[in-house]
Amino acid sequence: AQSVTQPDIHITVSEGASLELRCNYSYGATPYLFWYVQSPGQGLQLLLKYFSGDTLVQGIKGFEAEFKRSQSSFNLRKPSVHWSDAAEYFCAVGAGNRDDKIIFGKGTRLHILP
């Protein structure tokens, strides 16, 4: 069965500092991996996705993520955070098999210090 672990429930960084949010997944085949962001009271917006090919993927808002098969990880990074990046971030795993659902981690809430 698929599963996603986001080990950090809350992370606080200073504005302008770099950011890395961790995500580990469990899936029996080649995974499709996603990062979504959710602002308070809103739905989820896709930041980036990995299906195949280059293991370093670029997303919107200056975010990137690296797929490491050996570590079953798909960590999200940003070189310099902005106050507007404060939100909740969700990692998710799915599959190319259309009968497989997309499973989400519990999320990491990002706080930005001025």
Query: Residue 33: in which H helix or E strand, if any?
Result: strand 32-38
Nearer to another protein (CB atom), residue 15 or residue 86: 86
Question: Could you say which of 3, 12, 30, 42 contacts another protein (CB under 8 A)?
Answer: 42
Shortest distance, position 42 Cβ to another protein, whole Å:
6
Question: Could you say which of 36, 50, 63, 74 contacts another protein (CB under 8 A)?
Answer: 36
Rule CB under 8 A: is residue 60 a binding residue for another protein?
no
Q: Are 48 and 99 within 8 A, CB to CB?
A: no
Q: Which CA distances in Å does 3 have to 41, 67, 83, 86?
A: 25, 16, 30, 25
Question: Could you say which of 49, 64, 72, 77 contacts another protein (CB under 8 A)?
Answer: 49
Greatest Cα pair distance, the chain, in angstroms, is: 45
Nearer to another protein (CB atom), residue 9 or residue 113: 9
Residue with structure tokens 């599959």?
Answer: 95
Rule CB under 8 A: is residue 32 a binding residue for another protein?
yes
The residue among 17, 13, 70, 59 whose CA lies nearest residue 34 is 59
Binding site for another protein (CB under 8 A): 6, 9, 32, 34, 36, 42-46, 49, 90, 92, 94-96, 98-107
